[in-house]
Amino acid sequence: MEKTVAIYTLGCKTNQYESNAIIQKFIEKGYKLVDFEDKADVYIVNTCTVTSISDRKSRQILRRAKQKNKNSILVVIGCYVQVAKDKLEEIEDIDILLGNNEKKNIIDYVENFKKEKQEDITDVMHQKEYVELGTTTYTEKTRAVIKIQDRL
């Protein structure tokens, strides 16, 4: 049976780069990328929290994901998770919350989800090093995004 993954990216170029790297990791593990509007086994929302509008849009996208497939795994990653974990925990449909430093292990979290729910999020405000996602060859655009600096 084919495993499918869909991703929705909000925010900056860093999120775009990281989403591309994450999709590449899923493809390497045998997942097929599908459009976020299609039925998928795993939905990933890479969030932003620059403005209240981006917070609201993140929440709207999260609520839409499980409507496509109630048995899917909904993974929320990114800055909004870092600053509003408590608020996001109130949304029942979310299965996995990962902060910026946990993105690199997203496949492990997804594959182990049925065994136990893991939500340990490190505090990005105290993180001094960038957590590398590896070399990315996958991109949904005609131009690749290269990460040069992490936001502080």
User: DSSP secondary-structure letter at 124?
Assistant: G
Question: What is the pTM assigned to this prediction?
Answer: 0.76
Distinct helix (H) and strand (E) counts, the chain: 4, 5
Q: Tell me the pairing of strands 42-47 and 31-33.
A: unpaired
pLDDT tens per residue across span 15-55: 999 999 999 999 999 999 999 999 999 999 999 888 888 88
Could you tell me the fold of the domain covering 3-126? Answer: Rossmann fold (3.40.50)
